[in-house]
Structure 1
Amino acid sequence: MRNIRLEENTQFTFEDSKFDKLFLAIGSCECHGEHLPFGCDSLVSHQIALDLAERFDDAVVAPPLWFGMSQHYRHQPMCLSLSDDTVVRVVRELLDSALYWGIKKVLIVNGHDGNIAPIEIAARDFKVQNPDFGLAVLDAWWVTAGNLLPENTFEVWNGLGHGGEGETSIGLSIFPELCDMDRAKGQVPEFDTNVKLIWNFDELTPYGASGDPTKATKEKGDAMRQVLVDYLEKYIRHMDAQNWRYGVVK
């Protein structure tokens, strides 16, 4: 029987399954307020990848990367961070490994804002060196989900925030046993929409969480998972049909 978790496969089951796509989830180990677990970003991105792989006969999901570039969150316990340069190297070397074993289609599902820049650097560099490789990145699922859902889904800040309404909702959908809603609290920071101010997280909120996690519900989280996986399935099938070359999903 096909097993979509790479770590649970053997040489025989891997070769017998004839996987041609790898889904790679990348997260972090850092504070998300007092109400969410340190591994939230990895747990979420990995589950999205697993949900997606269930819809394909030729996709396998790598074990999640539990660490990312989290130095801007290290004012609260317990943050285990890699540097930008390390994340670039790790992503690049994982892509090299996939290619070595004949997998030429990779979707990276990122769960943490600090990984966006290093993933972009690694992916661009790898694509230049391997132009026939199919490579796509969901770099900010929390933004994508908000874009896909009806405008009235969220009550505060379109669900955004580190440990905020959206992220807490999807946590309630995936790992409710690890969420302590009695301790949920956050703060919505004020951002200029035209110029990016580079911040450390303690400048935005004293709580370890931004946005408003008290507005989170499992139902919102279920809806986020549904629209994300539905869209990604459509995207992957579209990419397969055109050999993972540039094009817009319609």
Structure 2
Amino acid sequence: MSTLQKMTGHQYLNGSKYDKAILAVGSCENHGFHLPFGTDTFVSSMLAEKVAAEVPDLLVLPPINVGVSEHYAHFPFTLTLRYETLIAVLKDIMTSVIKNGIKKIFIMNGHDGNIAPIEVAARSIKMEYPEAKIVSLDAWWVTAGKLLPANTFEVWDGLGHAGEGETSIGLALFPELIEMEHARGVVPNLPDSVDIKWNFAELTDCGATGDPTKATQEKGKLMEEVLVKAVVTFFKDMEECNWKYNSPQSAL
């Protein structure tokens, strides 16, 4: 695996000819009473590293450890960037990567508050560097649910902040940091037809939604496997078509 932070200049220049990079984006915020504050960063960065272990010439960039978490600020201890700050950070990092000759960038996101800034930053970079290929996995927690059998989870389809799914993947990736004896969550009453712009204190009194007590390491390993396989398969497919995802009629 090729992690930029751990490389020397000699290793970079004399190693693989990197033409792709993967960037994990996380957060530092309350995850109930049982998960660590860095859960979103740990999950996204560990998944990124596992993908890079199977994809040749993929460089793992340093993760962004703090995201947009203002909507979780009622629960201590929340660190947050402003939307415009995260957009600027993402744009600066992607610009740096492109200027270093890597024009294929995969963003592995671990936190809901980062989705909108990632979209704005990526669109902006595409306008400035149209030759760049920018891809993001915005919500692994949703993607995993779609990839796994329907009966994998017991409560709320495994969803929730620090809920069954997120706690399960934490048990698979960093069990030593989890205190399951303190796990507790609630399932909020949210409609399917519209998107309520909540702050998290409106949904739960314990910093967690869903039911983390139903989490298991086995479920987490299944999530890890399907997510890594999906992203690795994506890279293989793109390599086979030389990253030409335009229609035959397109002139670009």
Overall identity of the aligned pairs, in %: 52
Q: In structure 2, what is the Cα distance between the partners aligned to 1:5 and 1:91? A: 18
Q: Secondary structure at the match of 1:72?
A: helix
Q: How does 1:112-151 map to 2 (within 5 A)?
A: 112-151=111-150
2:3 is matched with which residue? 5
2:44 is matched with which residue? 45
Task: Give 5+ residue unaligned stretches, structure 1.
Answer: none
- How many residues are matched? 246
Deviation (angstroms), 1:10: 1.3
Q: In structure 1, what is the Cα distance between the partners aligned to 2:106 and 2:13? A: 20
Q: In structure 1, what is the Cα distance between the partners aligned to 2:166 and 2:79? A: 20
2:172 is matched with which residue? 173
- CA deviations 1:171-200 (Å, max 9, x no partner) are 000110100000000001111212211100
- CA deviations 1:42-85 (Å, max 9, x no partner) are 00000000000000220111121110000000111110100000
Which amino acid counterpart does residue 153 of structure 1 have in structure 2? T
Q: In structure 1, what is the Cα distance between the partners aligned to 2:243 and 2:205? A: 44
Q: In structure 2, what is the Cα distance between the partners aligned to 1:206 and 1:166? A: 19
1:80 is matched with which residue? 79
Which amino acid counterpart does residue 79 of structure 2 have in structure 1? L
Q: Secondary structure at the match of 2:208?
A: coil
Deviation (angstroms), 1:233: 0.6
Q: In structure 2, what is the Cα distance between the partners aligned to 1:165 and 1:29? A: 19
2:187 is matched with which residue? 188
Q: How does 1:1-250 map to 2 (within 5 A)?
A: 3-16=1-14, 17-246=16-245
Q: Secondary structure at the match of 1:244?
A: coil
Q: Is the 8 A contact 1:135 1:244 kept in 2?
A: no
- CA deviations 1:85-119 (Å, max 9, x no partner) are 01100111110000010011110000000000000
Deviation (angstroms), 1:247: 6.5
Q: In structure 2, what is the Cα distance between the partners aligned to 1:243 and 1:107? A: 15
Q: Secondary structure at the match of 1:41?
A: helix
Q: In structure 1, what is the Cα distance between the partners aligned to 2:55 and 2:161? A: 31
Q: Secondary structure at the match of 1:231?
A: helix
2:250 is matched with which residue? none
Which amino acid counterpart does residue 156 of structure 1 have in structure 2? V
Taking structure 2 as the reference length, what is the TM-score of the superposition? Answer: 0.95
Tell which deviates more after alignment, 120-129 or 146-155: 120-129
Which amino acid counterpart does residue 12 of structure 2 have in structure 1? F
Q: In structure 1, what is the Cα distance between the partners aligned to 2:73 and 2:246? A: 39
Deviation (angstroms), 1:20: 1.1
Q: Is the 8 A contact 1:134 1:245 kept in 2?
A: no
Q: Secondary structure at the match of 2:146?
A: helix
- CA deviations 1:199-233 (Å, max 9, x no partner) are 00000000100000000000000000000000111
Which amino acid counterpart does residue 32 of structure 2 have in structure 1? G
Q: Is the 8 A contact 1:22 1:59 kept in 2?
A: yes
CA RMSD of aligned residues (A): 1.2
Deviation (angstroms), 1:126: 0.7
Q: Secondary structure at the match of 1:81?
A: coil
Q: Secondary structure at the match of 2:2?
A: coil
Taking structure 1 as the reference length, what is the TM-score of the superposition? Answer: 0.96
Task: Give 5+ residue unaligned stretches, structure 2.
Answer: 248-252
